[in-house]
Amino acid sequence: MPVELIPGLQARRFDIITDAMYIRPERCRNVLFAEPIATVTDALVVPKGNPNGLHSYVDVRDKGLTFVTGTGFQAVKLAREVGIAEEKTLQVAGYPEIVQAVKAGRADAGSGEYLGLKRAIGNDDRLELAHPYTPPAKAGYPAFAFPLNEQAAVDAFNAVLKDYLGSDQMMESVGKYGYDKSLLPDGTTTADLCKE
């Protein structure tokens, strides 16, 4: 887990956390975060053409459809909060199983983190991510993290990051991993996220 990296950084076993840890106020007390490198939400996988017209968890709930997500995923809690019935919520091991459940018709829609679902779908032309989509929770903002006494390094990193984010060079490098322009930072700053 990313939080286990913080003690290693504090003990100077390494100089930077590049695991794209989410910026959270409690973590800001222990590390210095660079500016966000992405805006990450969950996604909704549906059959190609989105035959049920699903664009949110609320749509799944209101249409009484079956929903699938990973055991222990945040989507389990979010589905419950939105009001998707327990008997309409299927929990499986992970992304491949979410995709398989929708493909096989055992579920009408599935949810998980955007990149995880996008990778699991791959080139399967029987599935797609619902678009437009309204996520049930606010986005997460991953960033690189530095020791608390490395403000100069963070400032230098941010200066380079500003020109790199969204550049052709970046998109060519990370596109093969599923990162696309929809994941680019939305303008929310590290300072904003650290004081919430």
Report d(CA 66, CA 107) in Å as an integer: 5
Report d(CA 53, CA 136) in Å as an integer: 17
3-class secondary-structure state, position 94 = coil
Residues 67 and 88: beta-carbon distance below 8 Å: yes
> Could you read off the pLDDT of 163-186 as tens digits, one per residue?
999 999 999 999 888 899 989 999
> Could you read off the pLDDT of 121-140 as tens digits, one per residue?
999 999 999 999 999 998 99
Q: Model pTM greater than 0.85? A: no
Q: Tell me the domains of the chain and their CATH numbers.
A: 2-39+139-181 (3.40.190.10), 42-129 (3.40.190.10)
Report d(CA 16, CA 2) in Å as an integer: 12
